[in-house]
């Protein structure tokens, strides 16, 4: 096993790590684990799962991510975990009372971050900074704060800072912007034909405003004004756009390589992401054979990626939050808000 982790997140089909999976993770040393709804039943089980992965790779700080935005995308939605509101709902509140909306969102983000940190989860892969339009694929919907990039950036800042304060890593997505895509990249390859000028003034803008966010997830969307063939997540051209034009120097992880916007075998998809210059490929689920194939195609993290990861970790705070009390306070804010 290399002492440098592979530039890969792996996933699991069940709530436990089998002996074969444990041996694979021990022998290949993937950087991190992605857990979904299928993997998490209740707090103690989730903690055991995380501990076992970290034991396998021999790193007690190995990142373990999930999807926990609020609304319909929250994979901690069983057992005793409170349910959090969608970004669309916070946007509605902020349009009625901007300061109250920001305050509620910051507190909700702190509660959600603290809940994940207590479990051992490193990140909920949030916030979503994509714009949303009438033509936007329904895969985004209420996950977005709306169509105004400045409004999105202002609310996104509350999420980023609230998560960091509680020791949970924000991951802004889906850079450089999924909002003009009319197709769901889980199922098809979306092509955005907007001009460079339009993209710079709209979709790219929230990500540039929050470019100090330590991690970002790259969209499987084609931006034909820059690269007419390849989705951003496997495009060297779009890698340079994000790094140079947008000025982003944090960790760049692909969206899940199982999504059908990409083509080729899973190992080929891992190679495509890393060959394009991105830091990490996300293999968010799959069985042990698929994880083994992905690991064989991956390579150790670069020195630059390791430095970016370390810089992000150095920004994590230690704020303690009473999760249920904070969650209830947020609900009280919604109840007392001025009518629409």
CA distance 288 to 51: 18
Q: List own/partner pairs for 73-77 with CB under 8 A and 24 or more apart.
A: 73/143, 74/124, 75/35, 75/36, 75/37, 75/40, 76/40, 76/46, 76/115, 76/116, 76/119, 77/37
What one-character DSSP code corresponds to residue 33? E
Strands (E), 77-163: none
Q: Which of 309, 322, 321, 239 lies closest to 274, judged by CA?
A: 239
Q: Which of 174, 178, 246, 168 lies closest to 214, judged by CA?
A: 168
Q: Which of 183, 238, 190, 191 lies closest to 216, judged by CA?
A: 238
Residues with catalytic roles: 186, 255
What pLDDT is attached to residue 184?
A: 87
What pLDDT is attached to residue 286?
A: 87
The answer to whether 94 and 105 have CB atoms below 8 angstroms apart is: yes
**Residue 141 dihedral angles phi and psi, to the nearest 5°:** 50, -130
What one-character DSSP code corresponds to residue 224? T
What pLDDT is attached to residue 1?
A: 53
Q: At what angle do helices 98-119 and 149-165 cross, to 10 degrees?
A: 40
Which three-class secondary structure state does DSSP give residue 108? Answer: helix
Domain parsing of the chain, residue ranges: 75-169+318-339
Digit-by-digit pLDDT tens for the chain (340 residues) are 569 999 999 999 999 999 999 999 999 999 999 999 999 999 999 999 999 999 999 999 999 999 999 999 999 998 789 999 999 999 999 999 999 999 999 999 999 999 999 999 999 999 999 999 988 888 899 999 999 999 999 999 999 999 999 999 999 999 999 999 999 889 999 999 999 999 999 999 999 999 999 999 999 999 999 999 999 999 999 999 999 999 999 999 999 999 999 999 999 999 999 999 999 999 998 899 999 999 999 999 999 999 999 999 999 999 999 999 999 999 999 999 888 7
The answer to whether 246 and 207 have CB atoms below 8 angstroms apart is: yes
Strands 222-223 and 191-192: parallel
The distance from CA 91 to its chain's CA centroid, rounded to whole angstroms, is 20
Which three-class secondary structure state does DSSP give residue 256? Answer: strand
Using alpha carbons only, how large is the chain's radius of gyration in Å?
Answer: 19
Which three-class secondary structure state does DSSP give residue 101? Answer: helix
pTM confidence score: 0.97
The distance from CA 297 to its chain's CA centroid, rounded to whole angstroms, is 22
What pLDDT is attached to residue 6?
A: 98
CB count, 10 Å around CB of 64? 23
Strands 171-175 and 215-218: parallel
**Which tokens belong to 30?**
């993937």
Q: Tally the C-alpha atoms within 13 A of residue 335's C-alpha that lie toward its C-beta.
A: 6
CA distance 111 to 108: 5
């Amino acid at each position: 096993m290399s002492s440098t982790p592979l530039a890969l997140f792996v996933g699991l089909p069940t709530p436990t790590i089998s002996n074969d999976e444990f041996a694979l993770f021990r022998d290949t040393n993937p950087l991190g684990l992605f857990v979904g709804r299928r993997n998490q039943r209740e707090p103690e089980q989730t903690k055991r799962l995380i501990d076992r992965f970290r034991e396998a790779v021999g790193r007690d700080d190995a990142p373990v991510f999930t999807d926990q935005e609020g609304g319909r995308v929250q994979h901690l939605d069983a057992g005793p975990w409170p349910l959090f509101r969608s970004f669309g709902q916070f946007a509605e509140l902020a349009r009625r009372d901007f300061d109250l909306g920001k305050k509620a969102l910051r507190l909700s983000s702190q509660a959600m971050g603290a809940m994940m940190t207590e479990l051992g989860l490193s990140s909920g892969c949030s916030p979503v900074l994509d714009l949303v339009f009438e033509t936007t694929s329904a895969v985004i919907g209420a996950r977005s704060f709306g169509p105004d990039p400045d409004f999105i950036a202002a609310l996104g800042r509350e999420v980023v800072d609230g998560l960091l304060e509680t020791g949970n890593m924000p991951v802004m997505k889906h850079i450089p912007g999924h909002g003009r895509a009319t197709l769901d990249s889980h199922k098809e390859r979306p092509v955005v034909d907007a001009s460079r000028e339009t993209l710079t003034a709209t979709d790219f803008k929230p990500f540039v405003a929050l470019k100090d966010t330590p991690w970002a997830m790259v969209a499987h969307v084609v931006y034909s004004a820059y690269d007419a063939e390849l989705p951003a997540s496997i495009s060297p051209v779009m890698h340079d756009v994000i790094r140079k034009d947008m000025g982003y120097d944090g960790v760049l992880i692909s969206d899940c390589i199982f999504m059908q916007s990409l083509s080729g075998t899973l190992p080929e998809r891992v190679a495509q992401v890393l060959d394009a210059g991105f830091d990490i490929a996300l293999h968010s689920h799959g069985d042990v054979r698929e994880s083994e194939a992905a690991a064989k195609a991956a390579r150790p993290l670069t020195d630059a990626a390791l430095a970016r990861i370390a810089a992000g970790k150095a920004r994590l705070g230690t704020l303690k939050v009473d999760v249920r009390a904070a969650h209830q306070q947020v609900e009280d804010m919604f109840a007392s808000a001025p009518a629409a």
